[in-house]
Amino acid sequence: MRNRPEWLSNAVFYEIYPQSFLDTDGDGIGNINGITEKLPYIRNLGCNAIWLNPCFDSPFGDAGYDVSDYYKVAPRYGTNEDLATLFAEAHKLGMHVLLDFVPGHTSWKHPWFTESMKASTNEFTDRYIWTDSVWEEAPGYGSLRGISDRDGSCIVNFFTHQPALNYGFYKPDRPWQQPMDSEGAMATRNAMKDVMAFWLSLGCDGFRVDMAGSLVKNDEDSKGTIALWQDVRSFLDERFPEAVLVSEWGEPDKSIEGGFHMDFLLHFGPSHYNDLFRCEKPFFGGEGDAAAFVGKYLESYRKAAGRGLICIPSGNHDMDRLARHIRGDRAKMAFAFLLSMPGAPFLYYGDEIGMRYVENLTSVEGGYGRTGSRSPMQWDASEGAGFSTGPKENYYIPLDPDSGRPNAAEQLADGDSLLNEVKKLIGIRQAHKALGNDGAITFVCDGAKGKPLAYFRTSGDEKILVVINPAKEEWTVPFEGATGELLYSLGEQPVYAAGRLSVPGGTACFWEVMHE
């Protein structure tokens, strides 16, 4: 295992979309002070780390993933001092905060881009990737054309208003494609190191890195991008050895090689993550099939070889809400899985109360179909859900209009709520190293149609069997020469008799193996 801060061993993350968490100044948009105010709520849930979506100055064409000033908190969220206070208060509670770092592109309103669009050569001419002529587009990439005095097309990364920063090409094959070690590409890399150093010096604990695998272009096997991140890691190791990096890459073998501590399994790419939670027949719905997911997971797990953590999130700001597909006991079962897998768990704000996807919303700030997963946090049963001191008509995104929408206050008071189940599961995870981030996993059953997901989690002498059985059928496993202790069960309890453990359909359990 690469050097990494101690706290990652039992980190459970909570992802916060700052716009929608808590608004303490009544403008209908969440802010940093609102997050600081709710730290005890997050800590009480058992989460001890935060991933904060982008909070930097931006024209908000993509909810802040279009940065116009890397060094400044967007005024609607507060000030840099407010953010420093959030870091300090989190640390007092034994918590850590990762910022969202977007190194691949900026907003087209970023002053660097304004300079880069000029016909005359200047410091930022090579900050972005331009072809030599407006009539030539970069093959395989989208582009911005016809908006500058400069003659050229500029590569974009995501939306057209997000021009791609220049980290060079792994294999340049056109005159305008600069190598990775060219002056312009190195200047971009150094500028980004400076940004990281700035926030780390202010007290943040590291970064979730947006589109981390996409920086170097024409880089089919990601060799260039991996080398670039290795260089960034060396820089951090020298100056900020405690800085944590998690990548939005979705290929743990590559990202971990690049020096990331953790990578996400995502709703896109090869992970089969959606088979579990978000498809026509998700595994946790009871009729799905998890076998392809397990196959892919094991492949990544072997390649990562204990050098880093593979993180399976409950959701995030880019995918529809878990509760759109899975509710009630099935949601508890999904959390029993998420909170008993290796790697650091990531809970998307509101998933702990089963917040729903709000259907049919008009897109807000480039959210499009993602907007329904970004609605204001539902803190209580009041008309405005306790999200803001201002009127609900001004909310950044409309509230879930359902009168029966879940809320945190009621769930905190209800021992059977999803929130309290999540809290219980985090507690069990943190009390048992085998269930924790670094415990090993061996699958006993791969969740093929009609079958449960069953796996041993182990650490030292501790061995725990986890069975998640959303299917109808009971599942029985031989348990020869061993007895056990039930650490957790959801629904009807499993039965242990004559060396066999029987787990009824529609239930889940954690069974600690005790050798006689």
Contact residues: ligand NOJ, CB under 6 A: 62, 65, 102, 158, 210-211, 248, 317-318
Question: Pairing mode, if any, of strands 69-73 and 262-264?
Answer: unpaired
| Residue 190 Cβ vs ligand NOJ, minimum distance, rounded to whole Å | 21
Q: Is the Cβ of residue 137 or residue 318 nearer to ligand NOJ in the bound state?
A: 318
Q: Are 59 and 66 in contact (CB under 8 A)?
A: yes
Sign of CA dihedral 289, 291, 294, 299: negative
Question: Is the distance from CB of 68 to CB of 40 less than 8 angstroms?
Answer: no
Pick 110 or 330: Cβ nearer ligand NOJ: 110
- From the CB of 162, what's the least distance to ligand NOJ, in Å? 6
Q: Shortest Cβ distance from residue 63 to ligand NOJ (Å)?
A: 6
Q: By Cβ distance, which residue is nearest to ligand NOJ?
A: 65
The residues that bridge with 514 in the sheet, in sequence order, are 483
In the complex with ligand NOJ, the residue whose CB is nearer, 58 or 178, is: 58
- SS3 assignment for 83-140: HHHHHHHHHHCCCEEEEEECCCECCCCCHHHHHHCCCCCCCCCCCECECCCCCCCCCC
Rounded to the nearest whole angstrom, what is the least distance from the CB of residue 208 to ligand NOJ in the complex?
9
Task: Provide the minimum distance between the beta carbon of 248 and ligand NOJ in the complex, in angstroms, as a whole number.
Answer: 6
Quote the Cα angle for 363-213-5, to 5°: 100
Least distance from ligand NOJ to the Cβ atom of residue 102, Å: 6
Whole-number Å distance between alpha carbons of 36 and 396: 20
> How many CB atoms sit inside 10 A of residue 71's CB?
12
Residue 245 structure tokens: 């990096």
The smaller minimum CB distance to ligand NOJ, of residues 65 and 113, is found at: 65
63: nearest Cα among 159, 155, 153: 159
Q: Which is nearer to ligand NOJ, 260 or 301 (CB)?
A: 260
Residue owning tokens 């978000």: 278
> Measured in Å, how far apart are the chain's first and last C-alpha atoms?
33
CB-wise, 31 or 106, nearer to ligand NOJ?
106
Return d(Cα 389, Cα 410) in angstroms, integer: 20
CA distance 243 to 261: 10
Nearer to ligand NOJ, 248 or 329 (CB): 248
- Least gap, CB of 489 to ligand NOJ (angstroms): 36
Q: What is the number of alpha carbons within 13 Å of residue 42 lying toward its C-beta?
A: 33
Nearer to ligand NOJ, 11 or 266 (CB): 266
| 365/421 with CB nearer ligand NOJ | 365
β-pair type (475-478, 507-515)? unpaired
In the complex, minimum distance from the CB of residue 421 to ligand NOJ, in angstroms, rounded to a whole number: 27
- Least CB distance to ligand NOJ at residue 251 (A): 15
How is 258-286 classified by DSSP, letter by letter? TT-SEEE--SSSS--HHHHHSSSS-GGGT
Closer to ligand NOJ by Cβ: residue 158 or 335:
158
130-133 long-range CB contacts below 8 Å, 24 or more apart? 130/154, 130/155, 130/176, 131/174, 131/176, 132/175, 132/176
Q: Least CB distance from residue 69 to ligand NOJ, whole Å? A: 16
* CA–CA dist 81, 265 (Å, integer): 34
Angle at 52 between CA 46 and CA 55, to 5 degrees: 155
State how far the alpha carbon of 513 is from the alpha carbons of 189, 337, 454, 476, 486, in Å.
Answer: 50, 18, 14, 15, 9
Q: Please, what is the minimum distance in Å from the beta carbon of residue 341 to ligand NOJ?
A: 21
Is the Cβ of residue 210 or residue 275 nearer to ligand NOJ in the bound state? 210
